Structure 1
Amino acid sequence: MQKRRLGNTDMEITPLGLGTWAIGGGNWSFGWGPQDDADSLAAIHKALDLGINWIDTAAAYGLGHSEEIVGRAVRERAPNERPYIFTKCSLVWDETSNGQVRNVLKADSIRREAEASLRRLGVEVIDLYQIHWPVPDEDIEEGWSTLADLQRAGKVRYIGVSNFNVAQMERARAIAPISSLQPPYSLIHREIEAEILPYCQQHNIGVIVYSPMASGLLTGRMTRERVAALPDNDWRKHHPDFQEPRLSRNLALAKLLGDIGYRYGRTAGEVAVAWTLRHPAVTGAIVGARRPEQISELIGAAEFRLSPNDLEEIENFLRANP
């Protein structure tokens, strides 16, 4: 699988990275419902077997559980098969949180989070450490300065941000270089195209996009019945993208992607991911998987290229169905 340099780092990453939001389970406010750890481990191993060389996780996913599963899977591999591990800070919880997380960017909190992530992952250094959300806004400078301190101390190799806008990245860059941005990007959510992606190109900030399949809506496997059957502890059940009037439009878009993919022997999900990778500012796309077969259905997106006619067909649909 081809690789791309991530921003100002020395890391050459595959176009697809494995996302582990869903494997954290449903025991927190943004969980995806019940998840079997054996399936999670099998999915991670399948992704690595297929050539994916980076895993993206976060302390908050499953309140630490996702990091623990990632660490266990990595320990089960040979040393020369170790992927890059990316994780995030700034969402914290305690015994009284009842599954809720809160945003903290204070230095002492981030230092504690970093040590806890290192323990759960079972590694001596985190390859990319990211601020999960720029909240509270007034503490961005303190939080980013702390990540720079962790980098100088050798706890993390590179530092990045997630969900930042241009003004917030400007403030961070005044303190220390940004290696990467992790924003949402899909055919359903294209907001970053106007300012954020050009800014990242201009300043050599790598971009690893999350939710390129819109949290499952564009996989071709989501149906109205499956949406209705989502458990109450799956955050998607209550999100506007999964409710009318957006749901019908989103499922129609997924059908179009499936029709395009059929011509090439590709899945709708592969078409959705390949669409995000077509943008020159995008270094890689995070694909989430809860079972190994889901990775097999998406891996082709790494090399697949949409034709100009395919892209125009998609744009025509979006113009007709804003």
Structure 2
Amino acid sequence: MKTKQLGNSDLFITRVGFGSWAIGGAGWQYGWGRQNDDESVAAIHRALELGVNWIDTAAVYGIGHSEEIVSRALATWSGARPYVFTKCGLRWDAKGRTRRDLTAASIRQECEDSLRRLKVDTIDLYQIHWPVDDPKRIEEGWSMMAQLQREGKVRWIGVSNFDVAQMKHAQAIAPITSLQPRYSLVHPEIEAEILPFCRRNGIGTIVYSPMASGLLTGAMTRERIARLPDDDWRKHDDDFTEPMLSAHLALVEWLRFVGQRHGCSPGAAAVAWTLRHPAVTAAIAGARRPEQVEDVVAAADLQLTPTDLYEIETIAELAG
């Protein structure tokens, strides 16, 4: 599988990485319901077998459970070790409700906890999960990230969900290796300012939810949404409910048509659309079962034609 250099780092990553938000399961406010841990491990192994060389996780996914599953998968994997990316800055209470915390002490503790759960000596890419409104707290948090890098606890540091002003503020303290923003046909908002800024400044971009949290996979239907457990955050999200749902499902049918031209799924076409942007280094694609991995990984080598892009973007504009 082809690789691309991530920002200012020495990491050359595959165009698609394994996302482990969903495999964290339930127990917190953005959980995906109960998951089968054995299937999750098998999904990670299948992605690695197909050539994926990085896994993205976060401390908050499943309140630490996702990192533990990633560790379990690595312990039982006999091939080359993939890069492991994780995130900090979201803390939780006993009920799984999250809050943002970029204090230096909190970030250091989160780093130590992630190293323990992942059972690694160094985190390859450590990212602030969400910014806060207070610039001084961003400065404090990013300064600690740079300190952790100097100490060798993390190799490279990045941010997630930051806007341009917040990235500029962080850059004044230490270089940003990467940004992890939401990006899909359903949510293309970062195209206006954020992606051009990253490209101009040599900041790698690894986009999350390129299939809109499963909405664009081709497997999501009204009936399936209705059957989602109450502890799956998507059941009540605006994208998965009317009036937006009908427009999004119409877009999926057009993605299905484009995918058929290339022998791939609608989800693979959706991921490939994000990868066509020159500022995007790679896309995070989640899977909970091994059979879900094949189609998604196919997106890494899928070259959409100008006709494909015109048709997809025209329908997406109408759907929006």
- TM class by shorter-chain length? over 0.9
Q: Classify the secondary structure of the residue corresponding to 1:204.
A: coil
Alignment of 1:217-236 (within 5 A): 217-236=215-234
Cross-structure match for 1:4: 4
Cross-structure match for 2:286: 288
Cross-structure match for 1:118: 115
Cross-structure match for 1:23: 23
Native 8 Å contact 1:105 1:136 kept in 2: no
Cross-structure match for 1:184: 182
1:7-45 deviations in Å (ceiling 9; x for gaps): 000000000000000000111110001101001100010
TM-score (norm 2): 0.98
TM-score (norm 1): 0.98
Cross-structure match for 1:58: 58
1:210-249 deviations in Å (ceiling 9; x for gaps): 0000000100000010111111000001110001010000
Instruction: Return the alpha-carbon distance in structure 1 between the equivalents of residues 134 and 40 of structure 2.
Output: 34
1:130 aligns with 2:127: yes
Native 8 Å contact 1:104 1:136 kept in 2: no
Question: Of residues 283, 308, 311 in structure 1, which corresponds to 2:309?
Answer: 311
Instruction: Return the alpha-carbon distance in structure 2 between the equivalents of residues 122 and 136 of structure 1.
Output: 33
1:91 aligns with 2:55: no
Counterpart amino acid of residue 13 in structure 2: I
Cross-structure match for 1:35: 35
- Structure 1, unaligned runs of 5 or more: none
1:245-283 deviations in Å (ceiling 9; x for gaps): 100000110110001111111100000000000000000
Count the aligned residue pairs: 319
Q: Among all aligned residue pairs of Structure 1 and Structure 2, give the percentage whose two residues are the same amino acid.
A: 64
Native 8 Å contact 1:103 1:136 kept in 2: no
Cross-structure match for 1:266: 264
Instruction: Return the alpha-carbon distance in structure 2 between the equivalents of residues 214 and 228 of structure 1.
Output: 17
Displacement of 1:137: 3.1
Instruction: Return the alpha-carbon distance in structure 2 between the equivalents of residues 56 and 119 of structure 1.
Output: 16
Native 8 Å contact 2:250 2:319 kept in 1: no
Displacement of 1:136: 4.5
Cross-structure match for 2:202: 204
- Structure 1 vs Structure 2 CA RMSD: 0.9
Instruction: Return the alpha-carbon distance in structure 2 between the equivalents of residues 17 and 315 of structure 1.
Output: 24
Q: Classify the secondary structure of the residue corresponding to 1:159.
A: strand
Instruction: Return the alpha-carbon distance in structure 1 between the equivalents of residues 25 and 130 of structure 2.
Output: 21
Question: Of residues 84, 98, 109 in structure 2, which corresponds to 1:101?
Answer: 98
Native 8 Å contact 2:251 2:319 kept in 1: no
1:82 aligns with 2:94: no
Cross-structure match for 1:13: 13
Counterpart amino acid of residue 263 in structure 1: R
Instruction: Return the alpha-carbon distance in structure 1 between the equivalents of residues 313 and 101 of structure 2.
Output: 40
Instruction: Return the alpha-carbon distance in structure 1 between the equivalents of residues 195 and 104 of structure 2.
Output: 29
Native 8 Å contact 2:43 2:288 kept in 1: yes
Displacement of 1:100: 1.2
Instruction: Return the alpha-carbon distance in structure 1 between the equivalents of residues 185 and 246 of structure 2.
Output: 15
Q: Classify the secondary structure of the residue corresponding to 1:297.
A: helix
Q: Classify the secondary structure of the residue corresponding to 1:81.
A: coil
Instruction: Return the alpha-carbon distance in structure 1 between the equivalents of residues 92 and 234 of structure 2.
Output: 21
Displacement of 1:121: 0.2
Displacement of 1:317: 1.3
1:159-198 deviations in Å (ceiling 9; x for gaps): 0000000000000000000000000000000000000000
Counterpart amino acid of residue 98 in structure 2: V
- Structure 2, unaligned runs of 5 or more: none
Instruction: Return the alpha-carbon distance in structure 2 between the equivalents of residues 74 and 20 of structure 1.
Output: 13
